[in-house]
Chain A
């Protein structure tokens, strides 16, 4: 069949087109015809279909996401907001930081290694496209039940993929999470985050302006990988002379990405680009339409100049290919030569594929014949918007009424001891070092804190010791019980983790993982969670700088727990003042900060001991979180504490166990007045932390907490070779260590 040119499309209005197979709805196809005043060409249809997909257009979620802008707290730190590849935050001393978390859930289930690997690659290019040097990555991961056979297929592949790709880029992996829950069995969540640093004047935006400026595609050659539904179109529109079935999952080459990073940074340094965009989802379709749309509008691309790995690719396939390790830059003509020289230095292929034009249309040609003529905004920014119906699920009340308070509690010290050991050895609470030791956390030589610390922290200036910290948190169990509160608890925990490390929380990014938006129950969870997060960010004064939504995480009718993952970014003026979690100094005093209540709904204890999920999650008091954060930051800066650990899932005993094992020291604890031992050890009340205070600082620390109205209780001392709960039980560190560290290797190694 001949090429489906714009002219041909105008002359043949009645040709049947595979819009349905490409995932478009009938009214969406009609709208495309209306925009163009004719039927779309095959290439245009391909572009609209991917750009109007849920993944690219946020068509189901954007009516809810707009709250993040509407309720954004006034914050001078925001230099670039939502809408760009990633938001940019001022961290002082002329530095700006950009960070973002994205999902690569579906590809990672199909092909764990490449799915996870290219997830890292994609987020790193996003950060790079803002003009920043990527300085660290984090990986929040969720898998099915730890003992399920398929987890043993998915998890090692995902971890090897993250390591295999990330370790080759020379970026330290400094944090994240690993969570197991049967709800993720058919839908593992592979989220990837990246932090980048730049000087204020180096911020680059994805925009093509200035007629005559050249469009340069550089990086890997374009291949047939990552072409999803478009192969349907290719096979229907064209004779299938080329390879028929393309892998839908992209294949990554971290070596190419490393060269792309270094090459791009050198190009930035010489200020050679007017605009830049990475090629991720929807490939060239996305990059060209977004760049043109954000600029004056006009762009002309000669698609046949794109360097290919496979010469049999059709123009539609080239437009849709999600081949990794590619970037698209807008370059003024007099900079082109130098741009190409730098690419040559790094052995990176670079090709001028088009230019910015005076017009307002995105025009794409194939060997001189025009196959695309569209208003770029209609592709990139004017996709459909859905107001999906949502309603509180019929089962929500019964779930919340199933109170965890009624569960049988340990009756004596021996039972407490047994349940403590069971808790810290359970897959979710056990040490994840078997996993995180497969990631390079040292490279670049600026890692100050890395997992299992509360937050990852990197130094960004060796002279001044300025640093940034990041934590990512989410708790699907809490969010299932109450999505509004669950989202705020994720925010609160991440905020608390950053503050516990000594850094001041500044802004957040989120990755919202949910089931199908076509299910009103799921849409209600999504609406509640976004409302909770937006309200929470307003109260804490931490704007949402950007993020990602992953929907359709469900198997058949069963959706995953609603899982909003929140990444909080913080800044610390002097990284030498950071606070680690380790209790390392014998004789120091342990203080519990905050209020402990009987809160067990969604708790680790209810899961591990009773296999229960019901009731209400812990209460959120963001005012208290803010106060606790201020205390932790002040105490760190003024040398009043030597260690701090936030309290979250698993409660106090989990935190104390981790801090003791990390420091190689025991602790003697006394149950404070007004609490029973069980609640003291296992409650998951929010807004709490445990800190280790040198005796010389005790008075000053108490005075500060008293003056600012934060409840504190002295609960014990760092001492010996065991954890002892006075009058209840004691467990030697060696026994705790075996219980805590043996679980994951036994399941997965």
Chain B
């Protein structure tokens, strides 16, 4: 995928310099962390583009982020309704063709509902919403979204969800482990009962990544938990797209 010239670059680039990379962030009804993802994209140096759930057109973006929140109120199941929205038709098609897609929290739930990633998220084992600073280990630093990290690197990013317990059957879990597709694992304390401490996974091609914690809330020393450990997701994808 090549980057395209953009008519309106919103601001000077961030750490990785100016870039014409366009990264879309989808807003479903009930999406909450879309502005945060747009900000993270901007701070990393790419051009953020808002995508609307009813619009199939991806507006020439090079990658898509499905942001956190409670799309469609999490009614039925988290992500179950969003998965059928018009924008997702194109996202699913493009993801299968290799376009990088990152699903954060509710976005991860949408990706599993769309069968772009295996498994599902159940209610946290303690049955409460939990908001905390979460330590993770980056297990796979070769995906489109993690190349700026090193394998085994420990990072801290905010976690905040109600339905964050990752489950899949044993065969799938074994397969994910064997293929190095467990992208992130919870450290110190498993916050929700996720099987094998899995916090995030990738597809076999490495272009589709989903995780429950929120890297977009760890991009400025001033906000979130005061760390910038999450910025690597956004700089990784920009480098990947610029060098493609």
The answer on A and B forming one complex is yes
Give chain A's interface residues, CB within 8 Å of chain B: 160, 163-164, 167-170, 253-256, 258-259, 346-347, 437-448, 459, 462, 575-576, 749
B214, A459: Cβ atoms under 8 Å? no
B36, A445: Cβ atoms under 8 Å? yes
Q: How far is the CA of A448 from the CA of B30 in the complex (A)?
A: 24
B-side binding surface: helix, strand, loop or mixed? Answer: loop
Q: A253-B73, A443-B36, A459-B223 are in contact. Are A167 and B29 (CB under 8 A)?
A: no
A440, B160: Cβ atoms under 8 Å? yes
Which of B75, B130, B223 is the one whose CB lies under 8 Å from A438? B130
Residues 1 to 48 of chain B near chain A (Cβ within 8 Å): 29-30, 32-33, 35-36, 39-40
Q: Does B118 contact A (CB under 8 A)?
A: no
Q: Does B62 contact A (CB under 8 A)?
A: no
Q: How far is the CA of A516 from the CA of B204 in the complex (A)?
A: 67
Q: A437-B132, A438-B128, A445-B217 are in contact. Are A255 and B224 (CB under 8 A)?
A: no
Q: How far is the CA of A706 from the CA of B219 in the complex (A)?
A: 41
Residue of A nearest to B71 (CB): A255
B222, A576: Cβ atoms under 8 Å? yes
Q: How far is the CA of A382 from the CA of B160 in the complex (A)?
A: 47
B222, A448: Cβ atoms under 8 Å? yes
Task: With both chains docked as a complex, state the minimum distance between the C-beta of A89 and any C-beta of chain B, in angstroms.
Answer: 23
Q: How far is the CA of A170 from the CA of B70 in the complex (A)?
A: 9
Q: How far is the CA of A75 from the CA of B219 in the complex (A)?
A: 38
Q: How far is the CA of A168 from the CA of B105 in the complex (A)?
A: 13
B 106-142 binary contact with A (CB < 8 Å = 1; else 0)? 0000000000000000000010111110000000000
Q: A445-B216, A448-B223, A459-B223 are in contact. Are A438 and B131 (CB under 8 A)?
A: yes
List of B residues within 8 angstroms of A163 by Cβ: 128-129
B29, A255: Cβ atoms under 8 Å? yes
Q: Does B232 contact A (CB under 8 A)?
A: no
B223, A446: Cβ atoms under 8 Å? yes
B36, A447: Cβ atoms under 8 Å? no
Task: With both chains docked as a complex, state the minimum distance between the C-beta of A711 and any C-beta of chain B, in angstroms.
Answer: 33
Q: How far is the CA of A168 from the CA of B32 in the complex (A)?
A: 8
B128, A160: Cβ atoms under 8 Å? yes
Can you list 28 A-B pairs, Cβ within 8 angstroms, ordered by A? A160-B128, A160-B129, A163-B128, A167-B70, A168-B30, A168-B73, A168-B74, A169-B32, A253-B73, A254-B73, A255-B70, A255-B72, A255-B74, A259-B29, A438-B130, A439-B129, A440-B131, A440-B160, A442-B158, A442-B214, A442-B224, A443-B32, A445-B36, A445-B39, A445-B219, A445-B220, A445-B223, A447-B224
List of A residues within 8 angstroms of B216 by Cβ: 445
A437, B130: Cβ atoms under 8 Å? yes
Q: Does B209 contact A (CB under 8 A)?
A: no
Which of B30, B72, B74, B129 is the one whose CB lies under 8 Å from A440? B129
Q: A164-B129, A446-B223, A459-B222 are in contact. Are A346 and B29 (CB under 8 A)?
A: yes
Task: With both chains docked as a complex, state the minimum distance between the C-beta of B226 and any C-beta of chain A, in angstroms.
Answer: 9
B 197-225 binary contact with A (CB < 8 Å = 1; else 0)? 00000000000000000101101101111
Q: How far is the CA of A324 from the CA of B190 in the complex (A)?
A: 37
List of B residues within 8 angstroms of A168 by Cβ: 30, 32, 70, 73-74
B129, A443: Cβ atoms under 8 Å? no
List of B residues within 8 angstroms of A441 by Cβ: 131
Which of B33, B73, B75 is the one whose CB lies under 8 Å from A443? B33
Task: With both chains docked as a complex, state the minimum distance between the C-beta of A591 and any C-beta of chain B, in angstroms.
Answer: 24
List of B residues within 8 angstroms of A255 by Cβ: 29-30, 70, 72-75
List of A residues within 8 angstroms of B39 by Cβ: 445, 462
Residue of B nearest to A462 (CB): B39
Q: Does B102 contact A (CB under 8 A)?
A: no
A439, B223: Cβ atoms under 8 Å? no
List of A residues within 8 angstroms of B103 by Cβ: none
Residue of B nearest to A467 (CB): B222
B222, A442: Cβ atoms under 8 Å? no
Q: How far is the CA of A30 from the CA of B29 in the complex (A)?
A: 50
Which of B30, B68, B74, B130 is the one whose CB lies under 8 Å from A259? B30
B35, A442: Cβ atoms under 8 Å? no
Which of A164, A347, A443, A575 is the one whose CB lies under 8 Å from B29? A347
A438, B73: Cβ atoms under 8 Å? no
List of A residues within 8 angstroms of B219 by Cβ: 445
List of A residues within 8 angstroms of B217 by Cβ: 442-443, 445
List of A residues within 8 angstroms of B225 by Cβ: 442
List of B residues within 8 angstroms of A444 by Cβ: 35-36
Which of A256, A439, A446 is the one whose CB lies under 8 Å from B131? A439
List of B residues within 8 angstroms of A448 by Cβ: 222-223
Q: How far is the CA of A160 from the CA of B40 in the complex (A)?
A: 30
Q: Does B79 contact A (CB under 8 A)?
A: no
B160, A447: Cβ atoms under 8 Å? no
Q: How far is the CA of A462 from the CA of B223 in the complex (A)?
A: 11
List of A residues within 8 angstroms of B32 by Cβ: 168-170, 258, 443
List of B residues within 8 angstroms of A439 by Cβ: 129, 131
Residue of A nearest to B52 (CB): A345
B33, A437: Cβ atoms under 8 Å? no
Task: With both chains docked as a complex, state the minimum distance between the C-beta of A349 and any C-beta of chain B, in angstroms.
Answer: 14
Task: With both chains docked as a complex, state the minimum distance between the C-beta of B57 and any C-beta of chain A, in angstroms.
Answer: 16
Task: With both chains docked as a complex, state the minimum distance between the C-beta of B151 and any C-beta of chain A, in angstroms.
Answer: 27
Task: With both chains docked as a complex, state the minimum distance between the C-beta of B56 and any C-beta of chain A, in angstroms.
Answer: 16
List of B residues within 8 angstroms of A259 by Cβ: 29-30
Residue of B nearest to A450 (CB): B131
